[in-house]
Amino acid sequence: MTQHYRITLLPGDGIGPEIMAVAVKVMQVVGQHLNLIFEFQEALIGGAAIDATGEPLPAKTLDLCKSSDAVLLAAIGGYKWDTLPRHLRPETGLLGLRAGLELFANLRPAKILPQLIDASSLKREVVEGVDIMVVRELTGGIYFGQPKGVFATETGEKRGVNTMAYTESEIDRIGRVAFETARKRRKQLCSVDKANVLEVSQLWRDRLTALASEYPDVELSHMYVDNAAMQLVRNPRQFDTIVTGNLFGDILSDEAAMLTGSIGMLPSASLGASGPGLFEPVHGSAPDIAGQDKANPLAQVLSAAMMLRYGLNQPEAADRIEQAVMKVLDEGKRTGDIMSDGMTLLGCQAMGEALVQALD
> Residue 94 binds what, of ligand IPM, Mg ion, none (CB under 5 to 8 Å, by partner type)?
ligand IPM
- Binding characters for ligand IPM, 236-265, by CB under 6 A (x = yes): --------------x---------------
For residues 271 and 317, which CB has a smaller minimum distance to ligand IPM in the complex? Answer: 271
Min dist CB 339 to ligand IPM, Å, is 25
User: Catalytic annotation on 13?
Assistant: no
C-beta closer to ligand IPM: residue 245 or 261: 245
The answer to whether residue 50 forms part of the interface with ligand IPM (CB under 6 A) is no
Beta strands in the chain (DSSP E): 3-12, 36-42, 70-75, 105-111, 131-137, 145-152, 158-163, 188-193, 219-224, 241-244, 267-271, 277-281, 333-334, 344-345
Which partner from the list ligand IPM, Mg ion, none does 219 bind, CB cut-off 5 to 8 Å by kind? none
| Distance of closest approach, residue 330 Cβ to ligand IPM, in angstroms | 30
Max CA-CA distance within the chain?
70
Q: Alpha-carbon Rg of the chain, whole angstroms?
A: 20
Please choose which of ligand IPM, Mg ion, none residue 91 contacts, taking the beta carbon within 5 to 8 angstroms, the exact cut-off set by kind. ligand IPM
Residue 94 or 325: the one with the smaller Cβ distance to ligand IPM is 94
Q: How far is the CB of 226 from ligand IPM (least distance, A)?
A: 19
193 catalytic residue (yes or no): no
Strand bridging mode 333-334 / 344-345: parallel
Residue 70 CB burial class (10 angstroms; 0-12, 13-18, ≥19): buried
Q: Does 200 bind ligand IPM (CB under 6 A)?
A: no
Q: Which is nearer to ligand IPM, 91 or 255 (CB)?
A: 91
Q: Which residue is nearest to ligand IPM (CB)?
A: 91
Strand 219-224 and strand 241-244: pairing? unpaired
Residue 110 touching ligand IPM (CB under 6 A): no
Residue 135 as a binder of ligand IPM (CB under 6 A): the answer is no
Distance CA(207)–CA(173), nearest Å, equals 10
Q: Does position 131 bind ligand IPM by CB under 6 A?
A: no
Identify residues 238-277 at the interface with Mg ion (CB under 5 A): 250
Q: List the catalytic residue out of 13, 69, 193, 250.
A: 250
CB 284, min distance to Mg ion, A: 8
Q: What are phi and psi of 256, to 5 degrees?
A: -60, -40
CB 107 within 8 A of CB 329: no
Work out whether 94 is an interface residue with ligand IPM (CB under 6 A).
yes
Q: CB under 6 A: which stretch of 59-67, 90-98, 175-183, 225-233 binds ligand IPM?
A: 90-98
Q: Does 170 bind Mg ion (CB under 5 A)?
A: no
Residue 5 or 248 having the CB closest to ligand IPM? 248
Which of 25, 194, 294, 333 is flagged as catalytic?
A: 194
Active site residue 143: yes
Written as one letter, the residue type at 313 is N
Look up 254 and say whether it is catalytic. Answer: yes
Question: Is 5 assigned a catalytic role?
Answer: no
> Toward ligand IPM, which CB reaches closer, 170 or 250?
250
In this structure, which amino acid lies at residue 129? Answer: G
Written as one string, the DSSP assignment of 68-135 is: SSEEEEEE---GGGTTS-GGGSHHHHHHHHHHHTT--EEEEEEE--GGGGGGSSS-HHHHTT-EEEEE
**Minimal CA–CA distance to 51: which of 13, 85, 87?**
13
Distance from the first to the final alpha carbon of the chain? 21
Residue 27: half-sphere exposure toward Cβ, Cα within 13 Å: 29
What torsion, rounded to 10 degrees, do the Cα atoms 43, 44, 45, 48 define? 150
**Where do contacts with ligand IPM occur on this chain (CB under 6 A)?**
91, 94-95, 250
Catalytic residue annotation: 143, 194, 226, 250, 254
